[in-house]
Structure 1
Amino acid sequence: MNRGGVLVPGEALIDLVPEPDDPETLRAQPGGAPANVAVGLARLGTPVAFAGTLGGDAFAGSIERRLSGAGVDLSLCGRSVLPTTLAVADPGRDGTAYHFHTDRTATFELPDRTVDVPRFGAVYAGGLAAVVEPAASVVAATARAAARHSLLVVDPNVREDRTLEAGRSTGLLRELCTAAHVVKASDEDLARLWPGREPHASCRELARGGRLVVMTRGARGSTAYTAAGAAVAVPAEPVEVVNTIGAGDAFMAGMLAWLAAESWRLDLPPDRAEAMLGHASHIAASVCAQAGTEPVAPLPL
């Protein structure tokens, strides 16, 4: 793996998604934010290694085929006889909620790959693994190593479910954001992490620490904030929406692929920040336009 590559620790699980024409029927679909990001990066031509743990059931086989078929390096994955975590999707007007079945599963028994961090140009941290033990401790250690030896990229995807400890989870995600070099967060994530503060103000505060910060707002587009104080906004790419599951992960993959092609430069002038957001928006739109959670084909930078 060269220094242009990305290390992605975290979960690969199964989403159980209601069929659009038959909500009582659930379709099993490989997911998990880190796995989605890894697949997106591979399909966009960026070298990526996934450091999750694959279970011993048929679902794990489906997940492995998805990852390896996209070109993701699985040599750093752990293996277990335990089953795979399930996430039951509950789509609604305000987005998709999830109910997680994590007990006695392989998914969050992450291998410790901190020694491998210096081999990579960037390390992604986010998803459920950032807040669910025992994975959270491994993600935190990997993030600390990335902050010293690589580029730490954080997507604090805040999930609300009875199986998660809300106060502890938001605290862990805030710590990751303050350690990061790059933060990509939705306006909803920011409002949950720093309640009572306007999301734009949270982005500016994070950016003042020398970070590149990107806030996504769904159909309302995205905004990038740099340490120099500049804010660049780009509208979302128009698309007839078929699916929104995985759109944020696709945006993250598009953004990371663009930064990798730019040799991980973070002090972006406004025109380059605009180009980055436009590329990431295009990747997210390609997911929203079809059923599934990944770009339909590699797109040139």
Structure 2
Amino acid sequence: MTQDAGPAPGPGAVLVLGEALIDLVPAPGEPGTYRAQPGGAPANVADGLARLGTPSWFAGALGADAFARTLEQRLVSAGVRLDLCARSPLPTALAVADPGPDGTGYHFHLRDTATFRIPAHATDVGLFGAVYVGGLAAVVEPAATAVAATAAAAAEHSVLVVDPNVREDRGLDRASSLGMLRELCALAQVVKASDEDVAALWPAADPDETCRELAAEGRLVVLTRGADGSTAYTGSGEPVSVPAVPVDVVNTIGAGDAFMAALLSRLAAGGAVPTGEAARPMLEFAAEAAASVVSASGTEITLAARV
């Protein structure tokens, strides 16, 4: 699939670096049956940004199988630009979802896939108002090396936004993965992390204190707590908290990515990282975006963009 020539990047555009893969999700009411669903945190974020009207460039890698065509169709139909997306003859990575009472776990099939054949984009970051990195690509080689190089350049020439999105799997080296994610957070101007992410990355400290320390170094840090809402730490005054939007939960997959996309959308539109109470409208908008996902099947944001 090809895209017509589109607009050039600019201060209001976001470069999203990371993986697009397929989630295999248990089909409701059909034991033993799994439904293939487009996924990958960065791909979900790129899709969400485009649906919210924010120019979005996905810099991942797509394979040559039917799953890759599904992923491409999803991104293109949302309006995501694929000019910087790499191509590979290898197959697409799979993430087998394992929903439980404490959230959704995953088992990954990652080796010898196109998904992580991602080149560095250090020379492109200055064209964008913000650069997002995170997900599995931040810790799975060869993508991890490209992500680190791109992030270092983005921290100097754009606004680097990091979502550590910690994943556990027997195929991942836990100590190495956590170290790489901590390094990315140290580079970032904006960090969005769940309470579970923070507890995994800095287990010896209270999550609130960790976020305060990160923010004191000049970052915007957004901590999400699922149904308990979110808090922004800016190093300027006391943290700002907003509740989650109450909804009947149908699906939790992709809610954090929707929240992240809404944050990025507001950051791109505002042109500056908010501090103090100025972060409240951004958190409220992100909470609504997450609610639009958890109240329906799938991972697509159904919330209309608002400036």
**TM-score interval, smaller chain:** over 0.9
Match of 2:251, SS?
coil
2:111 to 85, 103, 107: 103
Q: Give aligned pairs, total.
A: 299
Report the TM-score when normalising by structure 1.
0.98
Instruction: Establish whether residue 90 from structure 1 lines up as the match of residue 98 from structure 2.
Output: yes
CA root-mean-square deviation: 0.9
Instruction: Establish whether residue 196 from structure 1 lines up as the match of residue 199 from structure 2.
Output: no
- Paired residues for 1:145-160 under 5 Å: 145-160=153-168
CA distance in 1, matches of 2:102, 2:276: 34
Match of 1:41, SS?
helix
Q: In the TM superposition, what is the alpha-carbon distance from 1:300 to its structure 2 partner?
A: 1.7
Instruction: Establish whether residue 124 from structure 1 lines up as the match of residue 132 from structure 2.
Output: yes
Runs of 4 or more above 6 Å deviation: none
Instruction: Establish whether residue 6 from structure 1 lines up as the match of residue 14 from structure 2.
Output: yes
Report the TM-score when normalising by structure 2.
0.96
- Paired residues for 1:71-90 under 5 Å: 71-90=79-98
CA distance in 2, matches of 1:280, 1:267: 14
Unaligned runs of 5+ in 2: 1-8
Match of 2:4 in 1: none
Instruction: Establish whether residue 280 from structure 1 lines up as the match of residue 280 from structure 2.
Output: no
CA distance in 2, matches of 1:240, 1:85: 31
Q: In the TM superposition, what is the alpha-carbon distance from 1:228 to its structure 2 partner?
A: 1.6
Unaligned runs of 5+ in 1: none
The answer (yes or no) to whether the contact 1:207–1:229 under 8 Å persists in 2 is: no
The answer (yes or no) to whether the contact 1:227–1:267 under 8 Å persists in 2 is: no
2:186 to 159, 178, 183: 178
- Paired residues for 1:1-301 under 5 Å: 1-263=9-271, 265-270=272-277, 272-301=278-307
The answer (yes or no) to whether the contact 1:244–1:287 under 8 Å persists in 2 is: yes
* Deviations 1:71-118 (CA, angstroms, capped at 9, x unpaired): 000000101110000000000011100011011100000022211110
The answer (yes or no) to whether the contact 2:239–2:276 under 8 Å persists in 1 is: no
Match of 1:29, SS?
strand
Q: In the TM superposition, what is the alpha-carbon distance from 1:229 to its structure 2 partner?
A: 3.9
Q: In the TM superposition, what is the alpha-carbon distance from 1:275 to its structure 2 partner?
A: 0.7
The answer (yes or no) to whether the contact 2:289–2:303 under 8 Å persists in 1 is: no
Which moves more between the two structures, 20-29 or 243-252?
20-29
Letter in 1 for 2:299: T
* Deviations 1:219-253 (CA, angstroms, capped at 9, x unpaired): 00000001224201100001111000000000000
The answer (yes or no) to whether the contact 1:86–1:102 under 8 Å persists in 2 is: yes
CA distance in 2, matches of 1:14, 1:289: 21
Q: In the TM superposition, what is the alpha-carbon distance from 1:297 to its structure 2 partner?
A: 4.6
